[in-house]
Amino acid sequence: MYSFTTIQDFHQDINTGRITCEQVVRYFLQNIEQSKRLNAFVEVYAEEALQRAKDLDEKKQKGIPSGKLFGVVVGIKDVICFKDHKVTAASAILRNFVSLYSATAVEKLLDEDAIIIGSLNCDEFAMGSSSENSSYGNVLNAIDESRVPGGSSGGSAVAVQANCCMVSLGTDTGGSVRQPADFCGIVGLKPTYGRISRYGVLAYASSFDQIGIFSKNIPDAALVLEVVSGADDFDSTSSSKPVPEYSEIQNMPARPYKIAYFRETLEHPSLDPEIRSAIEGLIDKLQAEGHTVEPVKFEFLDYIVPAYYVLTTAEASSNLSRYDGVKYGYRASEAASDLTSLYKKTRSEGFGGEVKRRIMLGTFVLSAGYYDAYFNKAQQVRKLLIEKTNKIFADYEAIIMPTAPSVAFKLGEKNNDPIAMFLADIYTVFANLVGIPSLSVPIFYHKSGMPFGVQVMTNRFQELSLLHLSKSL
């Protein structure tokens, strides 16, 4: 019976003829079937994935050179476009909408012979921290089904956690890859803003959004990052910096790092004491191993969540104005008397509660009377954070902190308290506000039986050292 460990092992098995792509796809399809109640998938491309696997097996037999991700079975979050497949952002407003083109990241996966097995459930328009805001219903955490998998890329996390694919893509605007990875006990990587093209990603907050990677181990994340990164004419915010061979971390010898941590993050009242002591223990261990790990004063902790929610809702209110019932997507069926009421009916019926809350918040903070008090103020906080971050990285190579203040919480626990839900993003939004790469490494278990990780960050475009240091953890 096949079981997946790493892409490297899988490729070895393929090369020695122990398994075929077709067998592996059948294995994952069976797991998907058995994990149906977790609700991780919006759609499974069973026939298509099998056909592609057969084609790849044939290609191999003919001796045609294989791509870097030959036969790698990937799931993609339902905000990432895949030509001729539905993409709905888990929203009723896009129900049955079919992509007209593929995201650049998807094209790059396919160019390297990956197999896309399905689209994955998430919070509507990637807004949320628990995957409870999906029009397809909640996603369940496979370790404890009474708990959330985190969000917004909950389906992407659970699909990897429950062995329904080898790796998956999510998006991370304020933690949506790292926090669900943390809650599910897997690796979650959010690269530098601009490292991966956002072309073909349904926008939430464009100056924060970034595609991220879920995997069972760091080398797999490195390899996928190597494939999907790079400049793209279709996204002017994508970076033209050359893409290093991230998979080389496999051959890089261990070395000591200069690491900073913020005492404020460990002393925060919202942090679970067990998580705190695990991270403190890790700091001691890293010091004993020869790394420099030092506290740095971070005076902005209480401002980052408010700044994040002001700026992202502002951007969302603008981005989501395109869903109006006129151009595409859902249109209210009841005859509208005029254009304004068509917009109103369509948007009232098509968007879920959390999305409406954010559109209204964003509209408010951008309104003439409040623009300076909220939007401008938050932009100033963002600027201060960037300056602070630059100073820190002048002296240190990495920052570590918890990924989330608690382990995966119970379904419904925070659902009626949006502020509590927002505040739980305290450790993840920083990296998006300043655009740096960040990775959640799954290394701990809580007495509740749930996993949790530690978050590692490096300076912009320093993914190589981010992956290398994370692997040594």
Phi/psi at 117 (5° precision) = -100, -15
Of 77, 216, 345, 414, the catalytic one is 77
Catalytic residue at 333? no
Could you say whether residue 312 binds ligand GLN (CB under 6 A)?
A: yes
In whole angstroms, the minimum distance from the beta carbon of 173 to ligand GLN comes to 4
Residues in 104-133 at the binding interface with ligand GLN, rule: CB under 6 A: 126-129
In whole angstroms, the minimum distance from the beta carbon of 358 to ligand GLN comes to 8
Burial bucket for residue 27 (CB in 10 Å: 0-12, 13-18, 19+): middle
Alpha carbons 384 and 27: distance in angstroms, whole number: 50
Could you say whether residue 172 binds ligand GLN (CB under 6 A)?
A: yes
Q: Which of 152, 140, 212 has its CA nearest to residue 176?
A: 152
Q: Which is nearer to ligand GLN, 199 or 396 (CB)?
A: 199
Q: Which is nearer to ligand GLN, 175 or 405 (CB)?
A: 175
Could you say whether residue 176 binds ligand GLN (CB under 6 A)?
A: yes
In whole angstroms, the minimum distance from the beta carbon of 211 to ligand GLN comes to 11
Residues in 177-206 at the binding interface with ligand GLN, rule: CB under 6 A: 204
Of 152, 156, 238, 406, the catalytic one is 152
Residue facing ligand GLN at closest CB distance: 176
Q: Are 440 and 187 in contact (CB under 8 A)?
A: yes
Amino acid at site 374:
Y
Residue 2 in 3-state DSSP?
A: coil
Catalytic residue at 102? no
DSSP string, 372-414: IIIIIHHHHHHHHHHHHHHHHHHH-SEEEEES-SSSPPBTTSS
Of 119, 130, 153, 176, the catalytic one is 176
Residues in 420-439 at the binding interface with ligand GLN, rule: CB under 6 A: 425
Residues in 61-100 at the binding interface with ligand GLN, rule: CB under 6 A: none
Alpha carbons 123 and 106: distance in angstroms, whole number: 21
Q: Which is nearer to ligand GLN, 53 or 359 (CB)?
A: 359
Query: Peptide bond before 35: cis, by omega within 30 degrees of 0?
Result: no
Where do we find the tokens 């949790």? 452
Catalytic residue at 448? no
Q: Which of 295, 243, 269, 277 has its CA nearest to residue 400?
A: 295
Q: Which is nearer to ligand GLN, 22 or 425 (CB)?
A: 425
Q: Which is nearer to ligand GLN, 71 or 191 (CB)?
A: 191
Residues tagged active-site: 77, 152, 176
**Site residues (CB under 6 A) for ligand GLN?**
126-129, 152, 171-176, 204, 312, 425
